[in-house]
Amino acid sequence: MQRTVLLSRGQWMVFGGITVTLGVVLPLLNVLLVPGHPLQVSDFTLNLYGKYLTLAVLALGVDLLWGYTGLLSLGQALFFSLGGYAMGMHLMLMIGKRGQYKSDLPDFMVFLGYPGLPAHWQPFYSFWFALAATLLVPAGVALLFGFFAFRSRIKGVYFSILTQALTYAAALLFFRNDFTFGGNNGLTDFKTVLGHELNDPGTRRTLYVLSVALLGGVFLLGRALTRSRFGQIQRAIRDSENRVLFSGYATAHYKLFIFALCAMITGLGGALYVCQVGIINPSEMMPDKSLEAIVWVAVGGRGTLVGPIVGALSVNALKSWATRAYPDLWLIVMGGLFILVVLFLPGGVVSVPGRVSAWWRRRQARRTAAGVAVAEKPVPAPGEKSAESASTP
């Protein structure tokens, strides 16, 4: 077996450069320069970027499942929200007596007339328990659901539809007031995390840097995973699951592992998201949120690790701008963008340079070898490959 390197020298340099820019330079620009300076990054902007970065983690989770394993899960928003809720519960308890009702209970519990803190809320006083829960609760749900789904060989669209139903059912549950998670309004009004004020720019900066670190870490993890033997089997399952199965691999185990792993990654992203956004409610786990994440991956380029990040950041930046500039048209733009990408650019934005250069090389070849031009075959984008294999019965 050939020795695989995580990143080549050049790639490390690019990776390091981007990480340092995002994780060190931007926060420094925020701290050192006075507000109003042209290069100053405002607290708001930094917080916004932090939010985008956690969404990019969600996108990476989607891509590891969809782009690499062929599992189009419409339930990723659920795992993201579960992680968010686990962290939100801790933050909620940390409000203490500073809430509206000056009670030890979270506000919504006072409002809804709870006699005391429900037993399953008790352990969330501990930050580390909450952190563990952000990983283990999504993983547990994913394992349970995945076990049943993969055992009975539910795949393809059926898997998508069932995960959609799962997240929809969960959202309906969380919308209920008596489900002890705040119902419609969810969890909000957080004050502190680990003793630091959430409103404090310093805390926000730290959370931002943590988001950069998490995204970088998840990227490297994904890189390691997809370049390993496991990654090869992953892609083999995507391209022809039956062949892998008949070669003696228990594909269900592989799928279960990656499904649970992605749930954990996504859950962590959700936890950091909630710290920075300051609210989590059940609408975050509606199926459309999962689909939105899939749009980011599709636009960026599935089956690559850079694509989802590019997609999540660019589509969200576009969304932030368009929802303010053209609130009525935003959904139409997003829907149209999605249709166009699915129809005409299966490899996403990151495949554009490859396509352009392939087109350029073909053109050059045709020019130089006029007459006996053997047009070079373009390298198919990873997305196309899976599309072709899906279309063969």
Partner 1 sequence: MRRCLPLFLLLLAGVTGLTGANGVPPGRAALVAALLAEPDAQPAALRALVGVEDEAILPVLTAWKQGEVFLYTGADGVRIPFRLDTAPDDQGRFAALAVADGRRLLDAEGRPLSLEATALKPIDTDGAIRRAMRDVTELAALVAPDVATRVAAADRLGQGLKPEHRPLLEKRLQVESSPAVRRALHVALALFDLASGEPARQLAAAAVLEEKDSLAGATQLKTLIDQAASQPNTVDSAVVARAKSAVYSIETHYQVVNFVGTLFRGLSLGSVLLIMALGLAITFGLMGVINMSHGELMVVGAYATYLVQDLFILWFGKSGTAFSWYFVAALPAAFLGAAAMGLILERCVIRFLYRRPLESLLATWGVSLILQQLFRLTFGAANVQILSPDFLMGSVTIRDVTLAYNRIFVIGFAIAVVVALVLLLTRTSLGLTIRAVTQNRTMAACMGVRTDRVNMLTFAFGSGLAGLAGACLTQLGNVGPGLGQTHIVDNFMVVVSGGVGNLFGTVLAALGIGAFDQVLQPWLGAVMGKVVVLIAIILFLQWKPGGLFPSRSRNLD
Q: In the complex, which residues of this chain contact partner 1 (CB under 8 A)?
A: 72, 145, 148-149, 151-154, 156-158, 160-162, 164-166, 168-169, 172-173, 175-176, 241-242, 287-288, 291, 294-295, 298, 328-332, 334-339, 342-343, 346, 387, 390-391, 393
Q: Specify burial of residue 279 (Cβ count, 10 A radius: 0-12, 13-18, 19+).
A: middle
Q: Which is nearer to partner 1, 183 or 378 (CB)?
A: 183
Q: Least distance (Å) from partner 1 to the CB of residue 193?
A: 32
Contact of 383 with 303, CB cutoff 8 Å: yes
Q: Least distance (Å) from partner 1 to the CB of residue 214?
A: 27
Q: Least distance (Å) from partner 1 to the CB of residue 59?
A: 14
Q: Which is nearer to partner 1, 317 or 332 (CB)?
A: 332
Contact of 230 with 72, CB cutoff 8 Å: no
Q: Which is nearer to partner 1, 108 or 150 (CB)?
A: 150
Burial track 1-32 (b if 16+ CB lie within 10 A, e otherwise)? eeeeeebeeeeeeebeeebeebbeebbebbee
Q: Least distance (Å) from partner 1 to the CB of residue 296?
A: 12
Cα–Cα–Cα angle for 275, 280, 286, rounded to 5 degrees: 135
Q: Least distance (Å) from partner 1 to the CB of residue 141?
A: 12
The Cα–Cα gap between 301 and 67 comes to 8
Start-to-end CA distance of the chain, whole Å, equals 32
User: Read out DSSP for 2-29?
Assistant: ----SS-HHHHHHHHHHHHIIIIIHHHH
Q: Least distance (Å) from partner 1 to the CB of residue 39?
A: 37
The pair of three-digit structure tokens given for residue 388, joined into one six-digit string: 């072709």
Q: Which is nearer to partner 1, 17 or 335 (CB)?
A: 335
Q: Which is nearer to partner 1, 152 or 320 (CB)?
A: 152
Q: Which is nearer to partner 1, 33 or 339 (CB)?
A: 339
